[in-house]
Chain A
Amino acid sequence: MTEHAAHPEEQLHDGHDNSPEAVKREIRKYLYVFYALAVLTGVTVWVSTFHLPIHTAVIIALIVAGVKGSLVAAFFMHLISERKLIFAVLLLTVFFFGMLIWAPWHHKYDAEREWPGYDLNAKKPAAATPAPSPAEHSSGH
């Protein structure tokens, strides 16, 4: 087990600048990101103690989580300096992720607008009927 500081000739050739100064600068960056993440975590927990109504709470939580996530992705995962190829793969993934999040919810939303009594779980009782039975509506296979 040899202990040695990396001389320029011994540096890794992995696409990064591995000189001691560059790496130490990066380490400082990582620590700043850590402090930011810690603060933001505190903020998001503190905001939750207000017990805000659900829609407001969702928006604030997503914004804070989005900022935290971006910091982790950009700096810890080096996305900010990563190759186009990786970006392209991730962009594609994000688009499909969006489709997956949107479609099932929109299906339900769309159907409830157009098919009275569609709700399987009797969320809103159908007008004038005292006890709607969800099993009556055969919606789908």
Chain B
Amino acid sequence: MTAHVDLHAVPGHDAHHEIEIPYTVHPRPDTGVYNGKLGIWLFLASEVMLFGALFSTLILLRTSSNHWPRGWEELNIPLATLNTFILIGSSVTVILAWANLRLGQLKKAKIFLALTLLCGLGFMIIKSIEYASKFQHHHYPSTNNFFATYFVMTGLHGLHVLGGMIVFAYLLLTADKWYAKHRDQFTNRVEVTGLYWHFVDLVWIFLFPTLYLL
């Protein structure tokens, strides 16, 4: 509290006034990051713990089990391999989208965002085919713990893919408006969503061999 009261500095009496949260777009000097980037990494740390718990479950159940099938005995490796390529490809397209935004190329960025979305869709379609075939052969989560862990881990991962797709769709639909008004903030949002998407890819990089190839 100072002895000088500045009557002109009272916030809130401008009709367009909004509270300005610092470091939304530009990084804070001492931490070196902007808010969204720190936020997404913290969120990803929590996701590491979430999938970690499931991997721990898998290890415990598998090492306790009398009979645990090898991946190729029960699962469709060619389809899953294709899915792996699709997901890795989508990781590239999303980072190319962000790179193009940094270069100021909105049109190219939108194309790469759309490709990412398409890859995600492809991943989910192939996943549905896989699941459908399992159900046809009467392999359900309740069949045994091999299938229980398979369905839960790929299912949760699939939900994360879906979540990412929804965000990409939103970014694509609002790209023009956002880029025109808040270019830097939009670029940051694509970067942050990209980080999330790379994490989803990262989980699959471990999930695929663990479930299918061992």
Contact = CB atoms under 8 A, between A and B. Distances in A.
In the complex, A touching B (Cβ < 8 A): yes
Interface of A: 1-6, 10-16, 18, 20, 23-24, 26-27, 30-31, 33-34, 37-38, 41, 44-45, 47-48, 51, 54, 57-58, 61-62, 64-65, 68-69, 72-73, 76-77, 83, 85-86, 89-90, 92-94, 96-97, 100-101, 104-105, 108-109, 119-123
Contacts of A96: 49
A48 B38 contact: no
B121 interface: no
A103 B32 CA distance: 36
B202 A48 contact: no
B212 to A, nearest CB: 8
Interface of B: 25-27, 31-34, 37-38, 41-42, 45, 48-49, 52-53, 55-57, 59-60, 63-66, 70-72, 77, 81, 84-85, 88-89, 91-92, 95-96, 99, 102-107, 176, 179-180, 183-184, 187-188, 191, 194-195, 198-199, 201-202, 205-206, 209-210, 212-214
Chain B contact residues, majority secondary structure: helix
15 contacts: A18-B102, A23-B102, A30-B99, A31-B92, A38-B88, A44-B213, A45-B77, A45-B213, A47-B213, A48-B72, A85-B31, A97-B49, A121-B64, A121-B65, A123-B64
B176 A90 contact: no
In this complex, the member of A12, A90, A123 whose beta carbon has the largest number of chain B beta carbons within 10 angstroms is A12
Chain A contact residues, majority secondary structure: helix
A61 B214 CA distance: 8
Contact of B33 (A57, A86, A108): A86
Given A14-B26, A100-B52, A105-B59, A119 B88 contact: no
